[in-house]
Amino acid sequence: MKRGDVIAIHLENQTLFQIKIKVSNSSKSILLVSKYKYSKYIVDGMIVYSIPSEYDKVANSFKNFNEDALIDTARIFQKNISKGIFILIKDANVIMGAPIFDSSLAWMLINNELVISDTINNIAIFFNLPLSKSALGLHLINSLPYYPFQNVPLWEGVNVVDPFCVLHYINGRLDEVKTWQSPVLNNDVNSTYKMLREHFLNVINHYIIENSQLTADLSGGVDSATIVYLLKSLNANFKLYHSMSDSKVNSDSKWAQLIANDINHSFTTLNSVGSSGKRFEANLDYPNGVLTDYPLLWADSEG
């Protein structure tokens, strides 16, 4: 296989593409495995690997590219892309990352070669990796906090890069580098509220623009109502769902109906877990054909 060639591999009814990437001025190479086709771009001596549709979102941002500022370029990618990962190479210096809120960049070292992907499952399927019993055990302990334990990969030997971070690879050394720091909050409640509100609106608006299939869960509580009213105010096209409660004294369904009436939006009602006695249907297809990297988390404080 030539360096940089895209090879399609057919595994378990799934097609995975692989690219062998040679790092300049180095004996090291990187193997990229994905269900997406990635393309190679060259910008002022910097090599970029990205999904073409995602590269188009940042292509005009390289007019003032500084060859020493790979981290700054990585921030541009993190802020603007929503699918896949990116690789930036300048000589022997490599920066890899995913969208800023994601932990979708997965990696592992096999025979001294760095293997990366935009999902843990791709690496697990490609190398037929065994499940990690310790990680599976952590997922089954309800008393553990969600973070960081729920970010532990379920497959043996695979690692993920945390949100707000990129992976720096140079001379065979791997380091996770943080690209975003939370803003410093002060005692001025109004300015802090304004800052958080603006950021929250930006996040919601980003998902509206990038997702053609947007759904929201309306439980009937304050948190979900806030999201739903925001989506409505931003003229989002979304589907609404409401899960029934197992408790007869729970009034959430009444409030969910009142909120839906207020925004003139109907919702699809889902039966409660207790009414069917089934937590999951094992023979159903994955939503939108997407196999999740982690177990689905169901949280309901009232039944």
What is the structure's pLDDT at 144? 75
Instruction: Tell me how far apart the alpha carbons of residues 80 and 197 are, in angstroms, rounded to a whole number.
Output: 20
HSE-up of residue 150 (Cα within 13 Å, Cβ side) = 13
Instruction: Tell me how far apart the alpha carbons of residues 62 and 39 are, in angstroms, rounded to a whole number.
Output: 17
Residue carrying structure tokens 């921030």:
75
What are the φ/ψ torsions at residue 266 (nearest 5 degrees)? -85, 160
Question: Among the listed ranges 34-43, 65-74, 259-268, which one has the minimum average pLDDT value?
Answer: 65-74
In the predicted structure, residue 162 carries a pLDDT above the cut 60: yes
More confident residue, 189 or 242: 242
In the predicted structure, residue 67 carries a pLDDT above the cut 60: no
Give this prediction's pTM: 0.71
How confident is the model over 128-138, as a mean pLDDT?
A: 87
Where residue 255 falls (left for φ over 0; alpha for ψ -120 to 50; beta otherwise) is alpha
In the predicted structure, residue 257 carries a pLDDT above the cut 80: yes
What is the structure's pLDDT at 290? 67
What is the structure's pLDDT at 3? 42
In the predicted structure, residue 289 carries a pLDDT above the cut 50: yes
Residue-averaged pLDDT of the chain: 82
Confidence of residue 108 (pLDDT cuts 50, 70, 90): very high
Domains of the chain by range and CATH? 6-178 (3.60.20), 212-289 (3.40.50.620)
pLDDT tens-digit readout, 37-66: 999 999 888 899 999 999 998 988 776 655
In the predicted structure, residue 17 carries a pLDDT above the cut 70: yes
Confidence of residue 301 (pLDDT cuts 50, 70, 90): very low
pLDDT tens-digit readout, 215-244: 888 988 888 898 899 889 888 888 899 988
DSSP string, 153-189: -SBTT-EEPPTTEEEEEETTEEEEEE---PPPP-S-H
In the predicted structure, residue 143 carries a pLDDT above the cut 60: yes
How confident is the model over 86-92, as a mean pLDDT?
A: 91
Pairing of strands 159-160, 113-117: unpaired
In the predicted structure, residue 129 carries a pLDDT above the cut 50: yes
More confident residue, 107 or 184: 107
Pairing of strands 39-43, 106-110: unpaired
pLDDT tens-digit readout, 202-213: 878 877 777 667
What is the structure's pLDDT at 302? 44
What is the structure's pLDDT at 54? 93
In the predicted structure, residue 79 carries a pLDDT above the cut 90: no
In the predicted structure, residue 284 carries a pLDDT above the cut 90: no
49 within 8 A of 93, measured Cβ to Cβ: no
